[in-house]
Amino acid sequence: MSDNESIGRVTGLGGIFIKYNDPDAIKQWYADNLGIRIDEYGTSFEWRQSHNPAQKGFTVWSAFSQASEYFKPSDKEMMINFRVDNLDAILAKLAEKGVYRLKAIEETDYGRFAHIIDPEGLKIELWEADDSAYDQMIGENRTL
């Protein structure tokens, strides 16, 4: 899908973030028992874009501390990240339905992020990914 065709929709799962009592120990358990390559955040699963198999995509699994404030204002133990094709367009559609982003859009080298809350209080992160930049950032530290 070209940039002109992006319509503001979810295109896939960008990541799953879960709070644990001991995130370092749980990451080590996943590495030891499931063979997952782990970095300080968790791991990145590499896959290929369905519309362009030459292009990589990534889904992240990350263990957070119970003390983390990143999931606020949600009090849930997990947060989900959805990949989107056009962050501005999806945020405009959500605003029309009374769903507003929690804070300013975060711009990073590997994409743009916004956060919303679902009706049950789960924080959702929306990620307009720059997979080329993310690929360079994580280097060899990914689970294939």
**Cα 82 to Cα 34: distance, rounded to the nearest angstrom:** 24
Q: Tell me the per-residue pLDDT of 68-126, one tens digit each, with 9 for 90 and over.
A: 999 999 999 999 999 999 999 999 999 999 999 999 999 999 999 999 999 999 999 99
Answer whether 8's CB lies under 8 Å from 93's CB: yes
Tell me how far apart the alpha carbons of residues 118 and 116 are, in angstroms, rounded to a whole number: 7
Fold designation for 3-138: 2,3-Dihydroxybiphenyl 1,2-Dioxygenase; domain 1 (3.10.180)
Q: What is the pTM of this model?
A: 0.89
Q: What confidence tier does 25 reach under pLDDT thresholds 50, 70, 90?
A: very high
pLDDT tens per residue, range 37-53: 998 889 999 899 888 88
Judged against a pLDDT cut of 90, whether residue 131 lies above it is answered with no
